[in-house]
Amino acid sequence: MSSTVIHVLAYHDAPKAIDWLVEAFGFERRLVIDAGPRKVAHAELTYGPGMLMIDSVGDDAAPLDADQNRPGGVYVIVDDVDAHAARAVAAGARIVDEPTDQPHGGRAYSCADIEGYVWGFGSYDPWKV
């Protein structure tokens, strides 16, 4: 089952972020509408049956500090948590929480992407509980 909730993230350099998300996390481009240098009008990335939409932040937005705390995050279900973490690190992700067995089941890790968003990846699938 796919979710009716789709997360949206805005990046200062959305095309670079899209390339990185594909390389580091294994997303696939579904739709990317270019809006000029470092901008997208709209983008959709998929991971299995899940989807993420990407926007560009406005020109007047302040740069984000990679260590700045941000509320919320994105959780993605993956088959092999440790292999996924290794792929992310190889692409430059900063590990926040190492791969660890979780008390509610499964295994998970979290990392920060190139603009500081924290992502969680794990084998726990709440749709199957």
Cβ of 85: how many Cβ atoms within 10 Å? 22
Q: What is the DSSP letter of 81?
A: H
The tokens of 23 are what? Answer: 């390389």
Over residues 119-129, the mean pLDDT reads 93
User: Quick one: what percent of the chain has pLDDT higher than 70?
Assistant: 88
pLDDT of 112 higher than 90: yes
Q: What is the structure's pLDDT at 3? A: 75
Over residues 18-25, the mean pLDDT reads 98
What's the whole-number average pLDDT of the chain?
Answer: 90
pLDDT of 96 higher than 70: yes
Q: What are the residue boundaries of the structural domains of the chain, listed by start?
A: 7-56+72-128
Q: What is the structure's pLDDT at 79? A: 96
* Confidence grade of residue 100 (pLDDT, cut at 50, 70, 90): very high
The top-level CATH class assigned to 7-56+72-128 is alpha beta
Per-residue pLDDT of 59-89, as tens digits, reads: 665 555 555 555 568 999 999 999 999 999 9
Place of tokens 């440790």: 82
